[in-house]
Amino acid sequence: MNRKTEGIDLLRALCLEFGPSGCEDRVADLIKENIEGSYDELIEDRMGGVVALIRGNGKTDKKLMLNAHMDEVGFMVREIRDDGLICFSSMMGPDTRIMAGRKVTVGVPERLTRGVMAIKPVHTVDRGDRDKSAPIDEIYIDIGASSKEEAEKYVKIGDYGTFESDFVQFGENGRMLKAKALDDRLGCALMIETMRKIYANKDNLTYDVYFAFTCREELGMGGVKCTAHKVRPDYALVFEATAVADIHGVPEVSKVAVRGEGGAVSIMDRHTVYDKELTQLILDVSKEKDIPCQIKKYVSGGNDASHIQRSADGVKCAVISAPCGYIHTASDVVALSDYESMCELTLAVLERMNENA
């Protein structure tokens, strides 16, 4: 079956694919199908990362790497109870409020089962605990099994899982996108679209450009570390999603970025101080070409740039992130215009870097 798509259809297909940290195989396969015919060499590392190389014309020996991670937040099965309910370890962080009643998919790529996250009903909770989030040990996955033996026909200890969520356009003219895994399938889609355009005009390309789709970012393990050591780039552009905190009740000083005002360029975060020259180039190109872009206002979070920057002899890094509401939930929300402007800005930045090489 041909799964090659573009635009919104490409982003939808990537978001709907199953791929929690450590189980990115199906996402990698979908990406390989969509980049076929748009690279000179395909490199796969031992962590499961996929790297596509478009060779330059040899006028410089400098290497540029573009990076987005394939994995999404999820969980892992750690126990199957006698009553058929499933205990799990979270790879979503400590906030359990996002879990209650959510539909999930659990298993491995060749054996997936649907279920829901089960939690004790509020009228059975002690009054003093009703305003508290349920501890992770009191949340289970219900796949409809009535016994351990029945559940084990479908799910095994060590299986992976993630949210099940529709891809929805909403708001005026469908300007907002809601899905799971927009962090960071949006970055993957952007890189695929960029590859197609770059490869079609590669004769004028100065740099060797490596498009790195990497693993396990959400666990902080940084599968990109292996990729960066293998590629040894001089420069890296990382494409991510960032929390925005742009809702009522959040102090202005704590707001990170605004959806609809373009990709957010970081000056620094909790793990990386970004290269001044490369970051300024992005901001200059944005202004000159009148492409929406904003500076990330709050020093928070981190991403694969921290691993790339410290690899081998060191790498000059910059990051452009899609402002994403309700990140790491079943309902990530981004503005379609931000995705479009990030795609446009990426091509313009690559063109400028090509001119300056």
> Same domain for 141 and 271?
no
> For the chain, how many structural domains are there in total?
2
Asked if residue 303 and residue 232 are part of one domain, the reply reads yes
Q: Are residues 221 and 332 in the same domain?
A: yes
In a domain, 174, yes or no: no
Q: Domain check: are 271 and 292 in the same one?
A: yes
Question: In this structure, is residue 170 part of a structural domain?
Answer: no
Count of CB atoms within 10 A of residue 79's CB?
12
Specify the pLDDT at position 247.
Answer: 67
Angstrom CA distances, 197 to 36, 65, 91, 188, 202, stand at 13, 16, 35, 15, 9
Phi first, then psi, for residue 86 (nearest 5°) are: -115, 130
Question: 11 and 140: one domain?
Answer: no
For residue 168, give both structure tokens. Answer: 């929805």
User: Can you say whether residue 312 is alpha, beta or left, with left for phi > 0 and alpha for psi between -120 and 50 degrees?
Assistant: left
Q: How many CB atoms lie within 10 A of CB 82?
A: 9
Nearest to 217 by CA among 27, 12, 6, 7: 27
- Do 232 and 321 have their domain in common? yes
CATH number at residue 52: 3.40.630.10
Residues 82 and 189 in one domain: no
Residues 327 and 340 occupy one common structural domain? yes
192 and 158 together in one domain: no
Q: Residues 30, 64: one domain?
A: yes
Residue 16 lies in a domain: yes
Residue 311: what pLDDT? 87
Burial 270-288 (b: 16+ CB within 10 A, else e): eebebbeebbebbeebbee
Enclosing H/E stretch for 163: strand 160-163
In sign, the C-alpha dihedral spanning 303, 136, 244, 336 is: positive
Of the residues 163, 195, 213, the one at which a domain ends: 163
What pLDDT score does 205 carry?
Answer: 92
The residue type found at 147 is S
Domain boundary among 163, 195, 223: 163
Question: Quick check: pTM over 0.85?
Answer: yes
> What single-letter DSSP state applies at residue 222?
-
CA–CA separation, 209 and 247 (whole Å): 38
CATH of the domain at 117: 2.40.30.40
DSSP per position, 14-63? HHHS--BTT--HHHHHHHHHHHTTS-SEEEE-TTS-EEEEE---SS---E
Three-state SS at 152 = coil
CA dihedral sign of residues 103, 222, 191, 275: positive
Which 8-state DSSP code applies to residue 10?
H
Domain membership flag for residue 33: yes
- Same domain membership, residue 101 and residue 56: no
Q: CA torsion 44→49→53→58, rounded to 10°?
A: -100
Same domain, 221 and 274: yes
Per-residue pLDDT of the chain (357 residues; tens, 9 = 90+): 578 898 999 999 999 999 999 999 999 999 999 999 999 999 988 888 999 999 998 888 999 999 999 999 999 999 999 999 999 998 877 678 888 889 999 999 889 999 999 886 655 555 655 566 777 788 999 999 999 999 999 999 999 999 999 999 999 999 999 999 999 999 999 999 999 999 998 988 999 999 999 999 888 767 898 899 999 999 999 999 998 876 666 677 667 899 999 999 999 988 889 999 999 999 999 999 999 999 998 787 788 889 999 988 899 999 999 999 999 999 999 999 999 999 999 999 999 999 887
Pair 114, 164: CB distance under 8 Å: yes
- Which pLDDT value is given to residue 126? 57
Contact of 71 with 89, CB cutoff 8 Å: no
pLDDT at 47: 87
pLDDT of residue 249: 65
Residue range(s) defining the domain that contains residue 199? 7-72+180-356
Distance CA 320, CA 279 (A): 9
Residue with tokens 């479908």: 154
Kindly list the distances between the CA atom of residue 72 and the CA atoms of 75, 114, 337, 344, in Å, as whole numbers in the listed order. Answer: 10, 17, 22, 25
| Residues 210, 198: Cα–Cα separation, whole Å | 12
pLDDT of residue 95: 75
DSSP assignment of 88-123, as one string?
A: EEESS-S-GGGTTT-EEEEEETTEEEEEEEEE--GG
Establish if 54 belongs to a structural domain. Answer: yes
Which positions ≥6 away from 326 have C-beta within 8 Å?
A: 332, 333
Q: Is residue 12 part of a domain?
A: yes
Tokens (6 digits) for 191: 């890189």
